[in-house]
Structure formats: structure tokens, C-alpha cells
Structure 1
Amino acid sequence: MNDPIIEIQDVSMRFRLSNDRISSLKEFVTTALRGKLIYKEFEALKHISFSVDRGETVGIIGRNGSGKSTLLKIISGIMKPTSGNVTVKGNVVPMLELGSGFDMDLSGSENIFLNGAILGYAEEFLKEKFDEIVAFSELGEFINIPIRNYSSGMLMRLAFSVAAMVEPEILIADEILAVGDEAFQYKSLARMKEMMSGGTTVLLVSHSMEQIREVCDKVIWLNYGKIKMMGETSKVCDQYEL
């Protein structure tokens, strides 16, 4: 019997974009008060519907601008759709933008507790997991310096290490395996597989068809805000790569 942990029903997302070339806040306010702002609507997602079963790993593919990141933000609760219904049954760890949920002035170790708290975990739990998170990140002495000094690869290490060690019910990952050195990417992929075998539901956006083919149970192909194809991983990837 299927057990959907995520249900997306007829979801659309529209943004209002200003056509005016406004260069300052003062000019924006003045133009708005005069009622002279000109908008055009951009529909990032158009009537999207699908479900994800508990423990499933779903790949989301598509060219840049197809709506992938918008969809992940809606499922994560960061954005509210313009229309449609989203049902998520479980705690979500979204890894969408490098460094989101971090304070750049705090050290890596302080950010473990900050990021963990944002994700809803108690301080005692994070203390128990702290050494494991640091060890997985391989940041060594850099764990005690402000993360504004981190490279993008170091930030990814820290973000993934927190997410991977707190064992979420749902992990939402947007290109997280595309940053950093090859050895850490391999280790991260192996850890993700462990989480999947332990029952974690994963939504994975990646431009690497090799990664998608290796770990995903099914794939959703987005094109200009619509689902172009959805189903068995090999079939969808084969069509995408034509």
C-alpha cells in the first residue's frame, strides 16, 4: 500500500515582475505612489501534481529556469504557492542555497547549533551529534573560525554534515553534490544512500544524470514550469538525454 509523505495537487506559482528600470528605493516608492508601476506576470510553475511515497528517492531534472528550485522551496515551506495544495507529512531538511540558515559571523561549530535549532532539533541532541558532524565535515581546526572565511566547498561540507547526521524524514537537496572535491562528493553520496536505506525520503535536483540514475527510484522532468515526463528513472533520463 502506498504511503505518500508528500502530495502536490494542482500547484501553480506566479511572480509579478516590474517592467520598469528603477534604480533606487526612492524612485520605486515614488513610482508606486503615483500608480505608475508596470508589472508582468511570470508563471514559474503551471498546475503541477504528483506524490512521493515514504522512503522514495525522487530526482527532479530540467534545464535552468524550468521551475525546479521554486518547486523545492514550495515543498520546503519557504514559499507559498499561488494556487494548489501541498501536503508534507514529516520533518524537512532543505539544502537549497549554500549557507542558508547560517550566520556568516559565527564559527562553524556555532553554526552547527544555529542550523540545527532552525531545523527544529534540541541542543542536547545536537551536542550528542556534534563530534560526528565535525568528523564527517573534515573541517578540522577550521570548525572554530567564522564561516565568512569558508570556501563554497567548506560551506557545503558543513551544511551537508549537519543535514546528514540529524537524519531527517525528508531531505530536499538542490545540487548539493556539485560543490567540493570529488572525494567528499563520493562520501556524501554514500551517506545519502545510507539515509535512503534507513527510510529517509529524498528529493534530489541534479544536472548529473549519472547521480540521478544511480540513486533515484523515479524522476520528474520539468520544462517551462510543467511536468514534461514523470516515471521510471531510466526511461525519463533516456528521453531527457536525447
Structure 2
Amino acid sequence: MSVSEAEKKQMQKLQPGVPAVKVQDVSITYRTTFERVPTFKSAIVRFGRGERAVREVKAVQNVSFDVDQGATIGIIGANGAGKSTLMRAVAGILPPTSGRIEVHGRVSTLLSLGVGFNAMLSGRENVVLGGLAAGLSRKEIKERYEEVAEFAELGDFMEMPMRTYSSGMFQRLAFSVAVHMDPDILLIDEALSAGDASFKTKAAAKMTELVSNSRTMFLVSHAMASVRELCNDCIWLHKGKVMMRGEPNEVIAAYTKFLQVGEKESASLEDL
């Protein structure tokens, strides 16, 4: 290992006692415009000109929490609760409107299927792009490539343009790239929602392996069984606010009660 590489590794070491992620009073507000569609009568009178109005959407409101190194935290809540918005802010993709987010360690994200991939390039070329985006050198990417390809199980498709891939193939390669980039913090948003049963089992085993190696993981999911199995901490968001944080079983029980869904209705638990 050269001196520069050693210095790089040293800089990437996590600080003992420092939270992996610290979210302090974070709010995220979107401002969007929309057209009020005029009635036929007003369209004639006003020559069809609609009124433009500005609407504010408070996606995340005054959220604060710390996540320790090595923790596996589930983020649950109904659609529109602000889960994905919050994860994009933690990933550094979306700046908070107010508040502060501190992240200590290298982040690898799987926030949406195939995001960041170039469909015109081959799977191999997209592995390189993903590695460079994660901050790895070309040498480090080359050392990891075979492991990434083997995990994805795409065979000769690794040399083909990703526009020829099915959604499941996209999923497998995206997940494989995310978990093999040596992340300190892994952000996963509905990563297990696609793919066959065999791949889901394999993905869950890989995430368990990462956690056992003291990696920090965020899992955003509607699948309560996955949160129960993989997480040791849980946050419930509702309309951009933290409703509850605690042990997964307790938080899930409160969440399902809130939605008036029986805890025994296992089929419903996977679709909340």
C-alpha cells in the first residue's frame, strides 16, 4: 500500500464514540407551482389563461435523531411520510431547507432502482461509474469487480448495454454495486421490493453480513417483516414528523394500530 492510499484509509476511519449520522432539527420544504384549470366560461372570458399559484410541501419537519455506528435502523411510514426525502438528505443528494446533517463515514446508496446508471453503457462500465461515484480508485474498483459480477449473477449480460436489462436485472446489479463499495453507511430504500425469492434471500444475507461487520444501515421499507428481521432500531415517520422511535416490534405495533390494521393480519403487514 502506498503512502497516499494509507493516508486515505486513515482519513476514512470512523471516530470511536461519534454517531455515524446526526440529524439536527432538519426540515425540508418543496416549493412547486401548479395551474388552476379555468372553467369553460372563464376560459372564454379570460382567453384561457389560468392562474399560477405556488404551493409549499413540508416533506420533513423538525426531525432530529442520532444513529450510532453499527446500528441497523428501519424507517417506516405511509406513502408521503417523508422517508425517501429524508434518506436523500442523509445521502447528501438533497440539501435540508433548515437544520443540519452530519455523516461520518463513506456512504453507499440504493435509493431508487437503477438511479445513476447509464442505460446505454454496459453493466461492467456502470460498475466502474458506481465505484468512482462512491469515491473508489480505479484500482479498487478493479479489485472488487469480479465479486460484484458474481453476486449479481448476470453472466454475459455484464458486457451488454443496461437498456437490454429487465427490471430485476437492474435491481440485482444496483444492489451488488451498492453493497460491494466498502460502505461505512448503507442507505437502502425498498431494495428488496424487486427480484425473485432467491435474490431477496441472498440480499438479506449480505445486509446481515454488513451489519455484523459493524456497518451502519438505514432500511426504508413497507415490508414490516424485513424491518423486524434486519433492524435493531426503528423510526416511524408520519407527514414529515417523527411519531416514535424504539425497538422495531414496539414501533411496528404502534404504527399498525395507528393504521387500524391487526397485528395478526400478516398479509397486510407487507403492504402498509
For normalisation by structure 1, the TM-score amounts to 0.92
Distance 2:230 2:58 in 1: 30
Distance 1:164 1:45 in 2: 27
Distance 1:60 1:37 in 2: 36
Counterpart of 2:18 in structure 1 is 3
Counterpart of 1:53 in structure 2 is 68
Distance 2:103 2:26 in 1: 14
Distance 2:72 2:231 in 1: 5
The structure 1 segments of at least 4 consecutive aligned residues displaced by more than 6 Å after TM superposition are none
What's the offset of the Cα at 1:167?
2.1
Distance 2:104 2:56 in 1: 32
The one-letter code sitting in structure 2 at the alignment partner of 1:113 is: V
- Pairing partner for 1:195 from 210, 219, 222: 210
Counterpart of 2:193 in structure 1 is 178
Distance 1:225 1:167 in 2: 31
Secondary structure (helix, strand or coil) at the match of 1:195 reads helix
Matches within 5 A, 1:116-131: 116-131=131-146
Question: Does the alignment pair 1:141 with 2:156?
Answer: yes
Distance 1:21 1:150 in 2: 40
What are the Cα deviations for residues 20-61 of structure 1, in whole angstroms up to 9, with x where unaligned?
Answer: 259xxxxxxxxxxxxx74201110011000010001000000
Distance 1:206 1:45 in 2: 17
Distance 1:91 1:129 in 2: 16
Distance 1:176 1:226 in 2: 23
Distance 1:113 1:223 in 2: 38
Question: Does the alignment pair 1:13 with 2:13?
Answer: no
Counterpart of 2:57 in structure 1 is 42
Matches within 5 A, 1:71-90: 71-90=86-105
The one-letter code sitting in structure 2 at the alignment partner of 1:145 is: M
Distance 2:185 2:167 in 1: 24
Secondary structure (helix, strand or coil) at the match of 2:20 reads strand
- What's the C-alpha RMSD, in Å, of the aligned pairs? 1.3
Distance 1:19 1:111 in 2: 37
What are the Cα deviations for residues 194-233 of structure 1, in whole angstroms up to 9, with x where unaligned?
Answer: 0000111000011111100011111000001101111111
- Pairing partner for 1:69 from 84, 106, 111: 84
The one-letter code sitting in structure 2 at the alignment partner of 1:117 is: L
Distance 2:232 2:18 in 1: 15
The one-letter code sitting in structure 1 at the alignment partner of 2:104 is: K
Matches within 5 A, 1:16-27: 16-20=31-35
The one-letter code sitting in structure 1 at the alignment partner of 2:81 is: S
For normalisation by structure 2, the TM-score amounts to 0.82
Distance 1:20 1:12 in 2: 26
Percent of aligned pairs sharing the same letter:
45
Distance 1:133 1:239 in 2: 39
Distance 1:102 1:132 in 2: 19
State the number of aligned residues: 229
- Pairing partner for 1:210 from 211, 225, 229: 225
Question: Do the aligned residues in 2 keep the contact of 1:153 with 1:180 (CA within 8 Å)?
Answer: yes
Distance 1:81 1:164 in 2: 26
Structure 2: gaps of 5 or more residues: 1-15, 38-50, 258-272
Counterpart of 2:165 in structure 1 is 150
Question: Do the aligned residues in 2 keep the contact of 1:167 with 1:200 (CA within 8 Å)?
Answer: no
What's the offset of the Cα at 1:78?
0.3
What's the offset of the Cα at 1:2?
4.9
Distance 1:8 1:157 in 2: 30
Counterpart of 1:114 in structure 2 is 129
